[in-house]
Structure 1
Amino acid sequence: MGRIELPRLQGRSWCSGSLKFHQQLLLISENLVTEDVEALKFLCTDLLHLRKLEGVKSALDIFKLLMAQEYLNAEDTFLLAELLYRIKCHTLLEKLGYTKEKVQERLHEKGRVSPYRQMLYELSENITNEMLKEIIFLLQNHLPKRWITLSALDLLILLEKQGLLTKDNVQILEDVCVTVSPDLLETIKCYKKAKGEKFINMTSYKMDGPHRGFCLIINNVNFNSSQRKGSCKDAEQLERVFTWLGLDVRTYTDLTSGDIRSLMQTWQDLQDHEDRNCFVCCILSHGESGAIYGTDEKLVLIRTLMSHFTASQCPQLAAKPKLFFIQACQGNKIQRPVYVDTGAQTSDLSSMQDSFPLFESIPEEADFLLSMATVDGYVSFRHIEEGTWYIQALCSKLQLLAVHLGTPTHVLRWTALVKLMILFYTDKFTLTLLVPYM
């Protein structure tokens, strides 16, 4: 009999908890005015579909959407507490069992509203009616004529819809705030500064040693059956750029497979790495899947080459960036040309990774970047006079990166370089279209 009644008691308990939770939401909703609802909608823009938010008429509608997406439930009400805290409805926090201080303590750990969204909301709160009129006047060429009156939040959402405002590009706001209000401009500057500092702190390697590092260039030109014409052009460009970046460049020409293995062992054992910040290795040769050829036409696995410089094999380079750039075919297939609209947006990273691996990751060994001229199974193209598109473009992008960071000897940011390589690989044309010579 007890076993029959127990589920019923649990059911009542569950219903009671669910009812209490919904009662809390109803009470909160009844205490929110129209402006509060609009603010909640704006702060949820990054969490909920914009089209669904456009249909919201009340706070209860927002709560339903948050519950449907599992952002909000009886066991976890922190997101709602954060939203109420952001719109300064601090007295309503008590209905969820929170105080202003408790929310502040947990924001760093559980906060869902992005710094970008917080910054925009702060701007909207400080834009007076007079300022808003001036901003709309300055942006009139960017706004549809039907928009005669806008709230500050409406204006920001409209700019986002048009792609004029993103978390990485707030230039349009800076431009108008210079004229309208220095205080608003300061809010934007604080956001950009915090965003930049976070990037630097998370992604920087130390580049303050007595020497920047070594750059090895293996340039295999002459094979028994062929000559890699144009490869010397690549080697010259690499020498010039990496010397300009402050590295000590060493170039080796026409090495057999045995020579390459011996060379890697020699550089693995070198004690001078301890006083240097990084290590770069560029290999220009023929190749097959996962391997490169020596001039004796015997293969050397790329992973074998890289294994010489792991933290265990070369402790002097532990926790230091190790960059490998491989200009070599990885098979015999030719990539079919794809003609695209040059005005189109670059594909996002996730879709590119579905198409082909940009980099071969080495999860068991930290601080490596392996960049290949082509993907597994395919050839890589080389112009007999100008060299390879891969190396020429790489050198060009490295120079642009260094200039962007200030000087050639500026602290190099690892993630910045990775992003550079992603950009390098996602250019709006194919290898086949650019360099039609093997």
Structure 2
Amino acid sequence: MDFREILCKISEEIDREELTALKFLCLDHIPMRKQELINDTLKFFEILEEKVLLKKNNLFFLKELLYYICRIDLLTNLNTNITELEHQIRTKAQVSSYRVLLFNLSQEVAKFELKSFKFILRNKIPKCKLEDNMTLIDIFIEMEKRGILGEENLGTLKEVCDVIDKTLVKKIEDYESSRVERSIERVPVEIQYVEEMMTEQATTGDFPGEKVQDKAYKMNSRPRGYCLIINNNDFQRAREEKPEYKKLNDRKGTDVDAEALKNTFKELHFEIVTLQDRTAKQIHQDLQIFQNKNHKERDCFVCCILSHGDKGTIYGTDGQEVAIRDLTSYFSSSNCVSLAGKPKVFFIQACQGRTMQGGLTLYTDSEQERESLEVDTLLQNECIPDEADFLLGMATVENYLSYRHVTDGTWYIQSLCKNLKEGCPRGLDILDILTKVNAEVSQKIDSKNKGKQMPQPKYTLRKKLSFPIN
């Protein structure tokens, strides 16, 4: 059958309860605000296509979702080998294990237990928010909104489950244990090239003959790797197409940041590629292009994204959200084999929420700067894959604003470039450099609103990462 006919046939078989489950499993890919527009399965498929999660020649994500909701009959109709699919899910799942855990828990709580679940939560969630017709999935979403449930915040859920059904607690603890294991082990990639590459890295050290498998990443290729800079400035399309985004201003000053990044990483021997004003779909396509490049002769990959953002996401110039985790996941070992075992570095200049950070005033900015500061936000989620060799440098901690000067650029990117230029020639490790960036940015203050900013690096690096100039 034709691709569209297949989707239509599947949509006819999916009931409302199953659609709710599919939407919940996709919450890390499709934000709640976007999900509110989904009222039938075909609309759901349409948004999956927009997010480049569903394509004519790649039905893996759809198959993974159908597997989780136990629609094996539909998988059979898609000529799916279940054993092969299970192996693919184990090695390159796109739905987070956290979402799968919550969905599975929702399937095991009986209706009479659901009432007890709601009753126990009344000291944390107002009664008016715990309506009689709420499902457990609805309750999980409400808990996440209130910050009492998350991938690393399962305490409240375990307390409730301990009263309802202790077997549920065991499932949560098993998930926590497996998550720790995943965070400390590399994803095995059974490809000869990767094995050869890892052997080469293990015997290449700072001194002749020294084995430094756990000391430093090899960093002597020329060019060292690609440095992709996505610079979003013009958000007119978003304002025109989405009235609710009328405050999504153009990002004055971002070109200063883009130029600083270009000059800095050029000095560090990277091949620079700068892309201007990209929609959400284009951003996905851009990352897919670099995912499919051959990085065999390169030591590293760097991606810098300058845009508006919200919690766990950045915005395309069309106002569509792009989950940061989706972008980083393109470069996992299973998705980009030629970067397996090599550092993947992402720097994200965007707000991660709407809250302004407070703090003691350490000094007063000039009146000109006070009038020229803007924030990179309009108005959920680990952002890096659960495997080794990733570094994610965020301009601000989750839920908070980040600042951009309309002529001087952003606090974060300007400090990052300055410290890279100063620290790399001295052989400083990237984490030492980012610590200096944290110290510098945290000292700044928006005098007008008393707002402050604290950057946040997240990483699963296994070795020292530095960019020597020579």
Taking structure 1 as the reference length, the TM-score comes to: 0.48
Q: TM-score, normalised by structure 2?
A: 0.45
Tell me which of the two structures has the higher relative contact order, counting C-alpha pairs closer than 8 angstroms and 6 or more residues apart.
2
Higher helix fraction: Structure 1 or Structure 2? 1
